[in-house]
Structure 1
C-alpha cells in the first residue's frame, strides 16, 4: 500500500511538473517570440523612421499615433490620453562651423527647447570664462561677452575614458592623470562659486550681458559621447559640442588664436501643445476591473533617437502585448500597456495617469516596468511589498531557466524613490516592479546621449525580456489570488540608521517645466 502511494505521489508530481512546463500559452509565447519576432522592424520604424521623441515635438505626437495604429493592426484597441500641456518645439538643421583660424565643420547639436537662428546663422568669436577672485570681478568682466559665443564648460584633461587608461597606462601615469583632473575640476568649481553662478544660472547672466550664444560640452566619460539635455536661454542659441571639438576651441581661445564660429540652428517654436500617454488594452474576461500594466516611458531626449532610453522598453511592452493578444486573447484580468509621456521631465505622464485613474490604480494586480537599457533583465526587487515573494516567485516559475537563471531577486526589497515610472504606482500603493537590466555601458554611452541609436540595441536580450514580461503578465492574470499590498517594515538608512518613510504620492506637474529627468 505504501509503495502504491509513493508511486501515485511520484506520478502526480511528475504530471504537475510536466503540465507546468507544457502550458500551450507559454509554449506559444516562447516559440513566437523566438521564431517570429517583430522587434527589429518595430525598432526600425520607431527609431529610424519616427526618430527621437522629445516631449512637445511633432515627432512625439507622431510616435503616439504610430503606436495606436500598430496596436490596431494587431487587433488591440489603443488610445492617446491627453494629460497636460508642454512647450511645443521642433528641431531643425544644426550646423556648427569653425571659420577661423581655419575651416572645419564641428560635431554638435542645438540643445532642446532652445531659440533658433536665422538661415544665415550667428557668426561670432569664441570667448572662455575668466578666473576671478570674487563675483565683483566677474561682474566687471561680463561686458566682454557682448557679441561673443561663450564656452561655459571646463576643458577636460583627457578624452579617454578611465577604462582605457586602466588598460594601457602605467599605474603612475593613470594616478597622475586622475590627480590632475581632480585638481582642475576642483579649481573650476571653486571659480564658478566665486563668480556667483551655477551651470544653470550662468547662461541667463551671459544672455543678459549680450552674448551671441552659448557653447557647452557635457561629456559622458566615453569616447565621442555627450549628454544632451535642455538649454536655459530665451533669445540666443545654445549648442553642445562633442568633447574633441570643444577642447580644440578652448585651447585655441586659451592660447590667443581666437576662433570664430558660424552657428546655424533652425528650430521652431510651436506654442503650447497637448501631451499624451498611449494606452493599449486587452480586456479581461473574468475580472475585467482588475489590471496588469506593462509600463515603459515613450519619450526620449533627442541627441540620439532614444533607442535604449527608452525605445527598448517600448518595444518590449508592444511585442509582449502582440504575443498576449495572439495566444491569450481573453485574459482573466485586463492587461494594459502604458506608454508614458514626459518621463524625462519628472515622470509626468505616469503620475498623471495615476491621478486621473484611481479606479485602475486601486485594482492593479501588478505593474511591470522596463527602463534602463538594452540588456537582459538581471534584477527584480519586491519593491517593499511584504508578500511580493509569494506571487512573484510563482509567476517566475514557468519562465525558461535560461532567462531566470540570470535574475537576482530581492524580497521584500525597498520602495522606489523616483527613478522611473513604476515609482508613480508604488507611491500610490500599487504593486509595481522594475525589470532592471544589464547596462551594456548604458550610463557612459547611451543614457541621454548622442549615441543612443538603433545600432546599440541587443535584440537577443530584448527578445528574452519580451518572453519574461509576457509570461509574468499571463501568470499575474491567471493567478486566482489578488496580490497583497501590505508593505514591509520600513527600511533603515544605511548611512544614518534613521527610519525611512514610504514616499508620498505627488501631483504631476501638468504644464511642466524644463527640468531634466531620468
Structure 2
C-alpha cells in the first residue's frame, strides 16, 4: 500500500494466526498477564529504532531491521519467517554523512538533513548563499549562468509561532460521548468554490510551475547545494524526498532540508543585505541492485481443521523516513504487532 505522507510504498510487517469463533476468558486472562507482567514491546522498539537506525524504503537500514525481525520472530518460535516480495519499489538510498554550517558572518552549525533520494555534493563545498526571488518562470532568467557551484535558497519561509498548548491531551469522557453522538454531514454534490478558494488554487498551481522550472534550471546550472525550508518548529523538523526513487528518475541537485529556525536566521541576514557564507559536505549512496520491495512474514499455524483455510492477519508498515529512527512512524505500530504475536506464541495459543 502507499503511505499517505509520500509516494513511497509502505512495507508491511505481516504475520498470520488462525481465528477462534468466540472469546475464551482463560486465554484473555493469559494474554493480559503476559502482556502486563512480561512485556517485550520496549525491547522490540529499541531494536527497530536505536539498534538498526532509520528504515527508509529499500535502504540498508530497512534491510537490517527486516533481518533482525525475521530472526526474532523465529527465536520466539514462529514458523516460516521470511521476506516476501510484493513488487517493484525502486532505488534504495541512505545518508553516509552530512555537515553544514555558516562561516560568515560567524560560525554556526546548521540543523538540517539531506532530502531522500538526492545526490551528495561530491566533496566539501563553500559558497556565499544566493537568495532566489521568483514569482514567475520569467523571473528565473536573471539567475541563469550565475549559479554554478553556488549554495542557493528561496526567498520563502513561514513565520514561527509559539506553542501554548500541550502536544497531546486526553479527551474527557463527556467529549468522547459528544463525538459518538455526532451526526455525519449531509451528502450531495459540492457547490462552486468561493472566489477566495479558486484564487488560492490558482496561486498554488502557479507556484508549482515556478518550482518545477526552478528545479530544472538548478540542475542545468549545476548548483552546489539547495537549502529548503523544512516543515516543523521548536527544534523539530520533518524530512521528505527531494527526488523520485524510480530506477529511471531524472537527475536532481543536492538538497538539504533546513530546520525552520536556521533557515529563517539565514533568510533574515540575506534580506538585510548581509552576506552569508556556508560550508557543507554531503555524501549519499544509492542502491539499485535489488529494486524489489519486501514484506516480513511469519506464522503461527492453526490447529482447528474446520478453520484450516482461514487466517487472521495483523501488521503495520515497517519503513520510516531517514532523518530519525522512525519511532512513531512506524516502529510503534510494528512493535505492538510483533509483541502481540510473541504473547500468543508464549501462552501457546492455538
TM range (shorter): 0.7 to 0.9
Task: Name the counterpart of 1:333.
Answer: none
- Equivalent-residue separation in structure 2 for 1:63 and 1:304 (angstroms): 14
CA distance in 2, matches of 1:291, 1:142: 61
Hey, what's the Cα distance between the residues in 1 that align with 2:39 and 2:86? 32
**Number of the residue aligned with 1:268:** 285
Q: Secondary structure at the match of 2:91?
A: strand
Indicate conservation of the 8 Å contact 1:153/1:218, yes or no: no
Q: Deviations over 1:47-94 (max 9, x none)?
A: 101011101211111111111000011100211112334202222111
What CA distance in whole angstroms lies between the structure 2 residues aligned with 1:92 and 1:56? 15
Equivalent pair of 1:82/1:276 in contact (CA under 8 Å): yes
Give the equivalent residue in structure 1 for 2:170: none
Could you list the runs of 5+ residues in structure 1 that have no partner in the other structure? 1-19, 165-185, 331-518
Q: Distance in 2 between matches of 1:292 and 1:142?
A: 59
1:298 maps to 2:302: no
Structure 2: gaps of 5 or more residues: 1-21, 167-198, 244-249
Q: Structure 2: how far apart are the matches of 1:256 and 1:75?
A: 66
Report if aligned partners of 1:203, 1:214 keep a CA contact under 8 Å in 2. Answer: no
1:313-462 to structure 2, matched below 5 A, reads 313-330=333-350
Alpha-carbon shift at residue 129 of structure 1 (Å)? 1.9
Distance 1:194 1:82, change over 3 A: closer
- How far residue 25 of structure 1 moved from its aligned partner, in angstroms, is 0.9
Establish whether residue 129 from structure 1 lines up as the match of residue 129 from structure 2: no
Alignment of structure 1 residues 136-285 onto 2, 5 Å: 136-152=138-154, 154-161=156-163, 163=165, 190=203, 193=206, 196-198=209-211, 202-220=214-232, 222-232=233-243, 234=251, 236-273=253-290, 274-285=292-303
CA RMSD of aligned residues (A): 2.6
Cα shift at 1:235: 5.3
Paired with 2:85 and 2:208, the residues of 1 have a C-alpha distance of: 43
Does 2:309 match 1:289? yes
TM (norm. structure 1) is 0.51
1:98 positional shift: 0.9
Shift of 1:141: 3.3
Post-superposition shift, 1:162? 6.9
- Kindly provide the CA deviation profile for residues 198-246 of structure 1, in whole angstroms up to 9, marking residues without a partner as x: 3x553232222332211112223x4122220111383531111111111
Q: 1:153 to 1:83 in 2, by over 3 A?
A: farther
Q: Say if 1:152 and 1:216, in contact at 8 Å, map to a contact too.
A: yes
1:62 to 58, 61, 64: 64
Residue 79 to residue 158, structure 1, CA distance change in 2 (3 Å): same
Taking the aligned partners of 2:264 and 2:254, their CA distance within structure 1 comes to 20
Q: Secondary structure at the match of 1:279?
A: strand
Does the 8 A contact of 1:153 with 1:217 survive in 2? no
RCO higher in structure (CA 8 A, sep ≥6)? 2
Q: Secondary structure at the match of 1:143?
A: coil
More helix by share: 1
Larger strand share, 1 or 2: 2
Shift of 1:318: 0.2
**Which range is displaced more, 61-70 or 141-150?**
141-150
TM-score of the aligned structures, taking structure 2 as reference length: 0.74
The 1:153–1:48 alpha-carbon spacing in structure 2 relative to 1, beyond 3 Å, is: farther
CA–CA distance in structure 2, aligned partners of residues 52 and 292 of structure 1:
29
Q: Secondary structure at the match of 1:47?
A: helix
> Matched residues in 1 for 2:117 and 2:236: separation?
21
- Structure index of larger Rg: 1
8 Å contact 1:107–1:241 — kept in the other structure? yes
**Corresponding position of 1:100:** 104
Instruction: Note the alpha carbon deviations across 1:139-188, whole angstroms, 9 max, x for none.
Output: 23343433321213623222534759xxxxxxxxxxxxxxxxxxxxx99x
| 1:430-459 alpha-carbon deviations (Å, 9 max, x no partner) | xxxxxxxxxxxxxxxxxxxxxxxxxxxxxx
CA shift, 1:192, in A, is 8.5
**CA offset digits 1:117-145 (Å, max 9, x no partner):** 33x4222221222255x432322334343
Asked whether the equivalents of residues 91 and 267 of structure 1 are also in contact (C-alpha less than 8 Å), the reply is yes
Query: Per-residue displacement from partner, 1:295-343 (whole Å, max 9, x unpaired)?
Result: 200011112111111111101110000111122432xxxxxxxxxxxxx
Distance 1:131 1:137, change over 3 A: closer
Distance 1:152 1:230 in 2: 18
